[in-house]
């Protein structure tokens, strides 16, 4: 119980480039930010308003909606009325009782989440005169985005060879994060309506910088002569704001954001956020997405330890580890048996490619601390790795493979094994570094197989039909 109260979810951006490496993390959760005297519940969807109110009276708690969408899935905050002295024990007892209650699908402490500080580098000013990153296989003149040459991370997942085949046309990718702002290099990217679960409004713009950067990796406007490129640039972005300008949110808002995205047509959900402890309410939301055919991609976490964060470690989620330029996994990337694949998260402490810039992931976003400005910023983290995979998932879906289990299989089987990965998989890389070109080819082959399969099936039916018709005609010739 106590450990459950000690959970901390945070957005997965690693420490500032100039700072010392954090000490290897002890296997103890950070102290404690759960809202005092508050719980989060996901009640049975069939309960009536009267039954919800009755439940509140029975537990002597105040039931509050998370947003105007709360009634749909019956996700609520619960405030416990008690004097401060005995409140903690009372909250624990109520939580235990709720978890046994048949009207309750899931219940958690009201965890508070926060973002570790970020100190991105800027590319706009003092653009270095360095060697451009090697861009393997790029078509001459494509893409024409001037800062593309610094996006070594797109090269690492073999985007130049994938783009001619697939761009994720029309696939809806939800970015469950701090919001998304259409900065200059996202203006040519299609957006669909989302929701802001912090302010409970339809305005899900980014007041932090993290979510827009993530959205840029997925679908930055590409080949528009401006800025940088993105993986699935013809995909549509659905902004789901569940983290505040300070980078704090709640498991209730995240769970509700996931369900909102599923209910409004998202085909991929990216969650570059996580925490060390399991949340029933969030796990149920991930399962809800998976069961309805939505691919959920999550960052493995930045603690540099052998335990994958939640929701990445939840069933139904694709957990993504982070690599740097030399294809080793990074100092901050979590590892464990849940890791599915690795993708570039970068390391802004290094310049291994010698282009004069820290080896971060480069996208256009709002400036942290001043969301009225925008810039091209280098971030690092498993937060940056996950959207590379979400983008490739959109390419796979665009090629016709939609089932989440099959999308995952294609991502894993087509992943490229770097020299450092000696086996078919390990707990650091999963099955290897995601390979956009190989994934698209595998998806196309699977779609073709299925097409041939259904053609064979319909030919079979036709033959059966022919036999039946002949029998029928014989019967008509020889009536009994």
- Interaction site with Ca ion (CB under 5 A): 145, 185, 221, 224, 226-227, 351, 353, 355, 357, 359
d(CA 38, CA 76): 10
For the record, the structure tokens of 37 come out as: 């005297």
Rounded to a whole number of angstroms, the CA Rg of the chain reads 24
Which long-range contacts does 99-106 make (Cβ < 8 Å, 24+ apart)? Answer: 99/280, 101/55, 102/44, 103/43, 103/44, 103/47, 103/51, 103/55, 104/41, 104/42, 104/43, 104/44, 105/42, 105/43, 105/44, 105/74, 105/284, 106/41, 106/42, 106/280, 106/281, 106/283, 106/284
Q: Tell me, yes or no, if 210 is annotated catalytic.
A: yes
Whether 383 is a known active-site residue: answer yes
Q: Is 322 within 8 Å of 295 (Cβ atoms)? A: no
CA distance readout (Å), 398 to 77, 244, 341, 395: 38, 32, 20, 5
CB of 442 to Ca ion, least distance (A): 27
Burial 161-175 (b: 16+ CB within 10 A, else e): bbbebbbbbebbbbb
CB of 345 to Ca ion, least distance (A): 14
> Are the C-beta atoms of 273 and 9 separated by less than 8 Å?
yes
Half-sphere exposure (Cβ direction) of 284: Cα atoms closer than 13 Å: 21
Compare residues 128 and 193 and give the one whose CB is closer to Ca ion: 128
Residue 351 Cβ vs Ca ion, minimum distance, rounded to whole Å: 4
Nearer to Ca ion, 289 or 436 (CB): 436
Catalytic residue among 177, 206, 303, 435: 177
What's the rounded Cα separation, in Å, for the pair 157 and 144? 19
Q: Which of 208, 210, 213, 428 is catalytic?
A: 210
SS3 call for 445: helix
Q: What are phi and psi of 138, to 5 degrees?
A: -65, 135
- 185 versus 206: smaller Cβ distance to Ca ion: 185
Rounded to the nearest whole angstrom, what is the least distance from the CB of residue 416 to Ca ion in the complex? 21
Q: Pick the closer one to Ca ion by CB: 355 or 375.
A: 355
Please, what is the minimum distance in Å from the beta carbon of residue 162 to Ca ion? 17
> CA distances (Å), 440 to each of 65, 215, 233, 250, in order?
42, 20, 15, 36
Q: Is the peptide bond before 143 cis (omega within 30 degrees of 0)?
A: yes
How distant is the alpha carbon of residue 166 from its chain centre?
20
Q: Is the CB of 114 or the CB of 224 nearer to Ca ion?
A: 224
Tokens 């993986």, residue located: 231
For residues 261 and 256, give the distance between their C-alpha atoms in angstroms, rounded to a whole number: 9
Known catalytic residue: 86? no
- Cα angle at 352 between 220 and 211, to 5 degrees? 30
For 185-212, b/e burial (b = at least 16 CB within 10 A) is bbebbebeebbbbbeeeeebbbbbbbbb
Q: Spot the catalytic one: 25, 279, 333, 383.
A: 383
Tokens, residue 291: 């069961």
Q: Which is nearer to Ca ion, 233 or 335 (CB)?
A: 233
Active site residues: 177, 210, 383
């Amino acid at each position: 119980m106590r450990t459950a109260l000690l959970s901390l979810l945070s957005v997965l951006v690693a420490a500032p480039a100039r700072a010392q490496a954090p000490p290897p993390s002890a296997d103890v959760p950070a102290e404690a930010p759960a809202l005092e005297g508050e719980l989060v519940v996901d009640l049975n969807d069939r309960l009536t308003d009267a039954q919800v109110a009755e439940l509140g009276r029975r537990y002597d708690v105040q039931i509050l909606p998370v947003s105007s969408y709360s009634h749909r899935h019956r996700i609520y905050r619960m405030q416990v009325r008690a004097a401060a002295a005995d409140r903690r024990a009372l909250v624990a007892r109520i939580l235990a009782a709720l978890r046994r209650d048949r009207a309750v699908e899931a219940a958690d402490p009201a965890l508070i989440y926060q973002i570790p500080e970020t100190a991105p580098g800027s590319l706009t000013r003092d653009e270095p005169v360095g060697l451009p990153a090697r861009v393997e296989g790029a078509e001459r003149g494509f893409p024409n985005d001037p800062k593309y040459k610094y996006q070594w991370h797109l090269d690492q997942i073999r985007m130049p060879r994938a783009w001619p085949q697939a761009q994720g046309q029309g696939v809806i990718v939800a970015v469950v994060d701090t919001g998304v702002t259409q900065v200059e290099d996202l203006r040519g990217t299609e957006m669909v309506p989302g929701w802001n679960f912090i302010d409970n409004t339809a305005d899900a713009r980014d007041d932090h910088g993290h979510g827009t950067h993530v959205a840029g990796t997925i679908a930055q406007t590409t080949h528009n002569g401006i800025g940088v490129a993105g993986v699935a640039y013809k995909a549509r972005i659905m902004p789901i704001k569940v983290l505040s300008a300070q980078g704090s949110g709640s498991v209730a808002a995240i769970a509700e954001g996931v369900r909102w995205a599923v209910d409004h047509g998202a085909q991929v959900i990216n969650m570059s956020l996580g925490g060390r402890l399991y949340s029933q309410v969030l796990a149920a939301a991930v399962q809800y997405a998976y069961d309805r055919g939505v691919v959920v991609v999550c960052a493995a976490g930045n603690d540099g330890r052998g335990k994958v964060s939640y929701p990445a470690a939840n069933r139904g989620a694709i957990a993504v580890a982070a690599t740097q330029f030399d294809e080793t996994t990074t100092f901050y990337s979590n590892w464990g048996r849940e890791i599915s694949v690795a993708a570039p998260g970068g390391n802004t402490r290094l310049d291994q490619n010698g282009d004069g810039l820290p080896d971060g992931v480069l996208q256009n976003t709002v400036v942290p601390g001043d969301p009225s400005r925008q810039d091209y910023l280098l971030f690092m983290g498993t937060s940056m790795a996950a959207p590379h995979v979400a983008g490739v998932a959109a390419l796979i879906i665009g090629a016709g493979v939609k089932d989440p289990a099959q999308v995952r299989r294609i991502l894993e089987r087509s992943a490229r094994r770097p020299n450092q990965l000696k086996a078919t998989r390990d707990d650091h890389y999963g099955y290897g570094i995601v390979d956009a070109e190989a994934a698209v080819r595998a998806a196309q082959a699977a779609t073709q197989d299925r097409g041939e399969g259904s053609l064979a099936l319909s030919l079979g039916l036709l033959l059966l039909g022919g036999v039946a018709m002949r029998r029928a005609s014989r019967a008509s010739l020889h009536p009994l």
